Structure 1
Amino acid sequence: MIARVALRDRTAFSALYDATSAKLFGVCLRVLNNRSEAEEVLQEVYIRIWHKADSYAVTGHSPMTWLITVARNLAIDRLRQRKAPMRDIDDVVDLADDRPGPETVAMARSEQAQVVACMNELPADRADAVRRVYLGGETYTELADRYGVPLNTMRTWLRRSLQKLKECLTR
């Protein structure tokens, strides 16, 4: 039938379509997982077969293998088009700098200096406890054991230290 299609035999083409369309549609559907796209690709497959039937060469493989290969390749091409749409160069290369600007850096340094100054106003053991619990992740119990004070005393230290830091930072 493929040889007759190469000679532009419409009857042979119709017979080829009837004999193979279900199988080739299944190949397209399996690759694309979308019925309408599979139908469109199947149409492209038969257009390709009509135009390229003369390029089919008997190589020991069945003619159906050639037809399936045509269908599979066109379906994969469609899948690639779907996954990788053309993008503008501005979309591909992001030239924006996400790093903070000089003003933000200066403000952060100023705030950092203010926090350090306020921490220095606390007694050394209280400042150390605040650092350990909020920056180091130690628990209140671990801090109470470290400083040899009851758990409720450690809670009071931390609460009062945070209040003093808040007052200092609002000055």
Structure 2
Amino acid sequence: MATRDDIERHILRAAQGDRAAFRALYDATSAKLLGVALRVLNDRAEAEDVLQDIYVKVWHNAARYNVNGLSPMTWLITIARNSAVDRLRKRRRTGTVETLDERIADGGAGPEARAVAASERRRLDACMEELAADRAEAVRRAYLDGETYADLAARFDVPLNTMRTWLRRSLLKLKECLSR
């Protein structure tokens, strides 16, 4: 299992064009990033396609990674989430959004994976209940439905910077709750 320092080292070496380091980075992080894309898209084939896009972006932008004491996984997960949300928005524009009934009928994951996901979902739902209703709704719409900050600001009739603050503070509260 790769440590935080290992991942950081792989990113820095990939920035110098080291393909072996890039492969090691992929091996150490691809399962997690696929999970991020899968949660946003709810479609394994599409998530796998986005995963390829994610690593192309990582390869081209590895030199932009800044060693600053923060987790390199945060940087990678941000790229993954943004890529998946972009794909989700593109899907919506083309009118190919899958209905909830279609997602349920697909099944996809095995029983163990569904049980783990259900447990994690209950924990997250409990933490979401600790947020004010409007904040929880904004978080869901931003991070699960892919709505932009501007769209959310208009929907909740607040300034754009206020929406950014809502989301940042809500995520900090969720992080604190989930770490208990």
Normalising by structure 2, what TM-score? 0.47
Higher relative contact order (CA 8 A, sep 6+): 2
Structure number, greater radius of gyration: 1
Normalising by structure 1, what TM-score? 0.49
